[in-house]
Amino acid sequence: MSDQSWPLYPPSFLGILGGGQLGRFFVQAAQDLGYQVCVLDPDPESPAGQIAQIHLQANYDDQDALLTMARTCRAISTEFENVPANTINFFVEQGVFVAPDSFAVSIAQNRIKEKLFFQQTRPQTGVGPVHYHVIEQATDMDKVDLEIFPAILKTSQLGYDGKGQQTVKDFAGLREAWQSLGNVPCVLEKKVDLAFELSAIIVRGFDDEVHLMPIAQNIHQNGILHLSMVPAPNINQHIQDQILRAAQVMIRELHYVGVMCIEFFVLKDGTLMINEIAPRPHNSGHHSLDSCVTSQFEQQVRTLAKLPLGNSKLMSPVVMLNLLGDLWTDGDNKGVKSSPNWNQVLAIPTAKLHLYGKSEPKIARKMGHINFLDESVDLALESANRAMEILGFTTNKE
């Protein structure tokens, strides 16, 4: 590696661990700025690997691949939180700048550590998690209080998009659910009287500059993000101020450099609670590709290269609609239909289509998204609803 001083200028190589759609957008943003990108991902059809200058098709603990990446890149980021901590530490030992570092990632990839972090920072943030219990062994269930039911049991690691979690109504259901999840460490969270969910994407540069990107209000279906509305239509200034303060505290307490998403719950009584953090760009921030001066992915590139952050200003109200493999496949996931009717969708003048380069549609697999930009969220939502009718969406909302 070169001894070139920081910031890191193009056409230097940047690295990304993980080659899904988040990695693909990182690659595109980096290349737009003139950088070259090396992707490490075992999938030969990795969406990010398809377009990167180098695709190392190997596992995340493959020593030869890690050494090649360390010799190629002076700075490396991650696109998902379950990269082994040893992998991140290896790069640091090789003198590579890694953002975010293993400390922040290790907290975000473990719900038990994450909840403890939320409790520890609550005096500073003013926002805490929902009522919960940690279940690491069978005897921990004896300590659970009755008031927590109904609740959701979530595995402490590897759960996302509704995976690794079950709703439980009582003690008997808790024992059954814990066994069905493999008797692994879990967090039991009380189901709350939810009004809506928000996500805040916050960015911190190497120089401690912090930007909060526009807050999104989200709707889910079957545990997967369905659509995001920006600016969030139901928040007031007080909630916005609470989120800004909490996000600034947490990103600095984690000594975090890069892009991080923090998900919040707003209860029907107006209480703000924190749900979880994701140490990376986030699905709910995909709108920024078209709606903001600087997208979350360009911010990720800037933080990694130790460049100044871009302006996060929202240029247009927007609704982001997720596109799942259900649109391509039949109901039992055994057959593949023809491509959705993009001609009619793109006849909607506010629609901006982004497909992820995934060759095999599957039920619940994220295949792309559409951003609808308009003069108001209501108008953008009308366009999104029109597209859903064309595409044959179902409308079961959580």
For the stretch 7-48, pLDDT in tens is: 999 999 999 999 999 999 999 999 999 999 999 999 999 999
CA distance 340 to 239: 39
Domain boundaries, the chain: 13-98, 131-190, 194-391
For each of the chain's 398 residues, which pLDDT tens digit applies? Answer: 444 579 999 999 999 999 999 999 999 999 999 999 999 999 999 999 999 999 999 999 999 999 999 999 999 999 988 888 899 999 999 999 999 999 988 898 899 999 999 999 999 999 999 999 999 999 999 889 989 999 999 999 875 555 678 999 998 899 999 999 999 999 999 999 999 999 999 999 999 999 999 999 999 998 899 999 999 999 999 999 999 999 999 999 999 999 999 999 999 999 999 999 999 999 999 999 999 999 999 999 999 999 999 999 999 999 999 999 999 876 554 556 678 999 999 999 999 999 999 988 988 999 999 999 999 999 999 999 999 999 998 655 44
218: helix, strand or coil: strand
Cβ within 8 Å of residue 379, ≥6 positions away: 317, 350
Q: What pLDDT does 72 receive?
A: 98
Q: Could you tell me which CATH class the domain 13-98 is placed in?
A: alpha beta
Q: Does domain 194-391 have CATH number 3.40.50.300?
A: no
pTM as predicted: 0.93
Q: H or E segment at 251?
A: helix 237-253
CATH, domain range 131-190: 3.30.1490.20
Q: What pLDDT does 311 receive?
A: 97
Q: What is the pLDDT of residues 128-162, one digit of tens each?
A: 999 999 999 999 998 899 899 999 999 998 755 55
Q: What pLDDT does 347 receive?
A: 98
312: helix, strand or coil: coil
Give φ, ψ of 140 to 5 degrees: -65, -25
Count of CB atoms situated within 10 Å of the CB of 120: 11
176: helix, strand or coil: helix
What is the DSSP secondary structure assignment for residue 235, as one 8-state letter? -
